[in-house]
Amino acid sequence: MIEFNVCLVDDDEHIREGISTALEAVYHVDTYPTAEEALKAIPKKSPDLVLLDIGLPGMSGTDALQEIKKIDPEIPVIMITAFEDIDTVISTMKLGAHDYIIKPLHMDALEKTIKNVLETVRLRKEVQLLQERFLKENTPCFIAESNAIQDVMEFMRKVAKSPDTPILIIGETGTGKELIARAIHFHSPNFKGPFITVNCAAIPRDLIESELFGYEKGSFTGARASGKRGLIEEAAGGTLFLDEVGDLSLESQAKLLRFLEVGEFYRIGGTKKLFVQTRVVSATNKDIDAMIRNGQFRNDLFFRLGVIKVQVPALNERPGDIIPLAKHFLFEFSRKFGKKFTGISAEAERRLKESDWVGNVRELKNIIERGVLVGDGPELLLHDLGLIQKSETERFIMRGGPKLSFPSLSSEGIDLTFAQETMERFYIKAALKIADGNESKAARLLHMNHHTFRYRKNKLLGD
């Protein structure tokens, strides 16, 4: 049984008493004589409904309505008004008031209006409760301790609310893109619908279209006699997750774009136009910008898929997640393998924090799985991790090598020779670092002969 909280704001004591006595048997009623007092209480009480007098001393009902909408635009507000105030009533309705009742109040009419409004609230709450239960039962545990990933999750929850806006998830391999795609589904209004995954890299290019769009019988050799629904159709009312979307052929990209733009498509060999409402979430660990420059990915499709973009940071960019994730996997595998691990030794923790997680969360998960299998417990030891300490240089290279940022060209202009030499100096130093000071190795890294390298080095760095 859902309990409702009603907030009543009226400066007339008789009205406050009259209404609360009439409603108390069914609802929980809080009364306030001024808008100021009500506004202070509303964020804490989060009422399901506000009854708001228009003519209040101090802040007016109209102003209070706007403040309430700022606190929570979803709280329904019913205005209470004297008959002659009808112009104000109209303006409050435009500002988002749900309904109005006219003084002198007739309790029957008031109760009926309240019941109607709360019926919508009840339905919304029921859906919310259902969704929460669904979420608990269906979403795999997503560890998000660091601010960086918490920001991603908060953004994700916001954008998930629309049922069909396309979302593109970008991030290195193993950062959790698929988990986030699932989370989007369960936080969206389509949560009860299907979640259909299409791994564009795993399906052969000549089959992907028939998989996505389906086909009519006899449309190609090998086609099933009965024809087949495509995955887009399967995803109706839910979410279609296009994983590794960068692997789609240009031809399939064109068809997908058409579907995204107008929501319609044909099965292969079919003549009937089909319409499907589903949300397309896509993910990629490829550098799509580079693919667009090379003509491998359509710019217009990229924009359409990425109306909303969610960028998932690499694990090294959110070191605060490493240990919580490691512990989560430790307990998960411990349970799975029937072992009794209770924690991670300080030495092992240190190494985990220092490691370069090129494979991100997936690599960490694999390392912990291995550790739990080979270790005896109760603590996971450094030895169990089997991590080889990487040299400074290896780490330097694995992090994507040196990073150089260029000064931007302003109206002041820029000394190009100086900029070029700065860049050259930077790469010569970086190459020497990677090559442990060995000049001929460093020269090879920069595709130069040893002689030119030495000449440039002496010129730019001095002997």
Q: How far is the CB of 239 from ligand ATP (least distance, A)?
A: 15
Instruction: State which residue, 35 or 314, has the beta carbon closest to Mg ion.
Output: 314
**Cα–Cα distance measured from residue 68 to residue 23, given in angstroms and rounded to the nearest whole number:** 22
Minimum CB distance to ligand ATP, residue 312 (Å): 7
Minimum Å gap between C-beta 331 and ligand ATP is: 12
For residue 284, which of 319, 251, 328, 253 has the smallest C-alpha distance? 253
178, 356, 363, 439: residue in contact with Mg ion (rule CB under 5 A):
178
Residue 281 binding target from Mg ion, ligand ATP, none, CB below 5 to 8 Å by type: none
Is 351 or 362 the residue whose CB approaches Mg ion more closely? 362
Put residue 195 in one of left, alpha, beta given phi > 0 → left and psi -120 to 50 → alpha: beta
Exposed / middle / buried, residue 43 (Cβ in 10 Å: 0-12, 13-18, 19+): exposed
Q: Please identify, using beta-carbon distances, which residue of 68 and 240 lies nearer to Mg ion.
A: 240
Q: Which does 95 bind (CB under 5 to 8 A by kind): Mg ion, ligand ATP, none?
A: none
- Least separation, in Å, of the C-beta of 141 and ligand ATP? 6
Q: Which is nearer to Mg ion, 245 or 380 (CB)?
A: 245
Nearest in space to 78 (alpha carbons), one of 126, 25, 27 = 27
Contacts of 427 (CB under 8 A, 6+ apart): 402, 404, 446
- Decide: is 12 part of the binding site for Mg ion (CB under 5 A): no
- To ligand ATP, the closest distance from the beta carbon of 321 in angstroms equals 7
Distance CA 173, CA 170 (A): 9
Q: Are strands 228-229 and 214-215 parallel, antiparallel or unpaired?
A: antiparallel
Among the residue ranges 45-53, 134-142, 178-186, 202-210, the one whose residues contact Mg ion (CB under 5 A): 178-186
Give 2 or 202: the residue with its C-beta nearer to ligand ATP: 202
Residue nearest ligand ATP (C-beta atom):
176
* 363 binding Mg ion? (CB under 5 A): no
Give contact residues for ligand ATP (rule: CB under 6 A).
140-144, 171, 173-179, 285, 325, 361-362, 365
CB of 358 to ligand ATP, least distance (A): 12
Q: Which does 61 bind (CB under 5 to 8 A by kind): Mg ion, ligand ATP, none?
A: none
Q: Which does 446 bind (CB under 5 to 8 A by kind): Mg ion, ligand ATP, none?
A: none
Q: Are 75 and 48 in contact (CB under 8 A)?
A: yes
Task: Name, in order, each residue with C-beta under 8 angstroms of 417's C-beta and a sequence gap of 6 or more.
Answer: none
Does residue 65 contact residue 79 with C-beta atoms inside 8 Å? yes
Residue 298 interacts with, from Mg ion, ligand ATP, none (CB under 5-8 Å by kind): none
Q: Are 376 and 345 in contact (CB under 8 A)?
A: no
Which residues pair with residue 344 across a beta bridge? 380
CB nearer to Mg ion: give 169 or 235: 169
Minimum CB separation from ligand ATP for residue 188, in Å? Answer: 18
Residues of this chain that bind Mg ion (CB under 5 A) = 178
